Amino acid sequence: MRCNPLSFARRAHPERSIVKIFVPKETTPGELRVAMIPSVVRKFAQNEFVVEVETGAGSSAFFADAEYVEAGASIASDFAAGCSGANVVATVRPLGSRAQGLPKECVAISYISPASDTETISAVASIASDFAALI
């Protein structure tokens, strides 16, 4: 089944007219991907989503912060600043212990193995957030 992230985010928070998506920097050693490239940020921004990207999040994938700004994103100084007020946090790898920093009722989206990444699953459950696993 294919999930449209635009409608998923809107369904997750129908009471909010503005949905903020945060894309943090990946912290897993050797991870070169980023959860959202500038062309995708542009699509979200054109659909009235607020997108914030942690500084340097795209650098390992050869995307500069300036490219994200040009696409319509703002740049967060760090993970905590970007998570503030976020409705959706999109990552490539599971958040692990960083999931404790998610706002309550935030939707976390990443590739994850629910059976083996119990740290992230437990952290997300403890703060009453939702998780969309890309398995």
User: What tens digit of pLDDT does each residue of 80-125 get?
Assistant: 999 999 999 999 998 888 888 888 878 888 887 777 777 777 777 7
Q: Is residue 7 part of a domain?
A: no
Range(s) of the domain holding residue 22: 18-134
pLDDT at 106: 83
pLDDT at 116: 77
Q: Residue 29 sits in a domain of what CATH number?
A: 3.40.50.720
Residue 78 clears pLDDT 90, i.e. is over it: yes
Q: Is residue 4 part of a domain?
A: no
Residue listed under structure tokens 């212990």: 97
What is the mean pLDDT of the segment spanning 59-88?
96
Q: Provide the 8-state DSSP code for 6.
A: H
Residue 54 clears pLDDT 80, i.e. is over it: yes
What stretches of the chain adopt beta strand conformation (E)? 20-23, 50-54, 74-76, 88-90, 107-111, 130-134
Strand-pairing partners, residue 50, are 20
Domains identified in the chain, total number: 1
% of the chain beyond a pLDDT of 90: 52
Task: With beta carbons less than 8 A apart as the criterion, state whether 75 and 8 touch.
Answer: no
123 phi and psi, to 5 degrees? Answer: -65, -45
**What is the value of pTM for the model shown?**
0.81
Q: Label residues 73-97 b or e (16+ Cβ within 10 Å = b).
A: bebbeebeebbeebbbbbbbbbbee
Residue listed under structure tokens 């650098």: 59
Q: Is residue 60 part of a domain?
A: yes
Residue 30 clears pLDDT 70, i.e. is over it: yes
Residue listed under structure tokens 């999930």: 3
